[in-house]
Amino acid sequence: MAKKVLMLAGDFVEDYEVMVPYQALLSVGVAVDVVCPGKKKNDIIATAIHDFVGFQTYAESRGHNFVINKSFDEVKLDEYAGLYVCGGRSPEYIRLNKRVIEIVQYFFEKNLPIAAICHGIQVLTPAGVLKGRTLTAYPAVGPDIVVAGGTYKEIDADKAITDGNLTTSPAWPGHPAILSEFYKLLGVKIG
């Protein structure tokens, strides 16, 4: 039976940060259920494209539509080998959902593999799971990590940090690094 990962996303998730890991995990035989609070299977979420084009922070453009493939209310956590938390703008509001926080806490309590990228770390901070952890995020999320009791490390955007069962990367250029680490945590062998 294939390993299965739960992926948390929502409207205005960063386009690459949902599309790339979703497709990459599928390509190595990992099943992925993408969910969003308040959404059902076959509902659409909007994505956003974040890029640096000369401003002090990223600019945001409308991305593609992404089809949710599992109803949020039907998630049974014991079916999943790991958790992937996408970035973009969705983390700032899906973290307000009590069940999202419970999901994050479950994966940490079970010491299951967890990957979070960019602003996705905003879903981890209110869950009370970062104390004593070393991780990275989009730099604007760094202070949130510190307030939550973690150690924030600023690294190049194409890198990842793994601390125990948690791997993190600052942004979508880090997909090769974070996915490679997540595969190891999941026990996925390639080649």
The 10s digit of each residue's pLDDT in 155-166 is 999 999 999 999
Determine the average pLDDT of the residues in 124-131. 98
Rounded Cα gap, residues 113 and 80, in angstroms: 10
Active site residue 119: yes
The 10s digit of each residue's pLDDT in 28-71 is 999 999 999 999 999 999 999 988 778 777 778 888 999 999 99
Catalytic member of 50, 64, 119, 175: 119
Right CATH for 4-186 from 2.40.110.10, 3.40.50.880, 3.90.1580.10, 3.20.20.190: 3.40.50.880
Q: Give the domain ranges of the chain.
A: 4-186
State pTM to two decimals.
0.96
Q: Where are the alpha helices (DSSP H) in the chain?
A: 15-27, 90-94, 98-109, 121-124, 142-147, 175-186
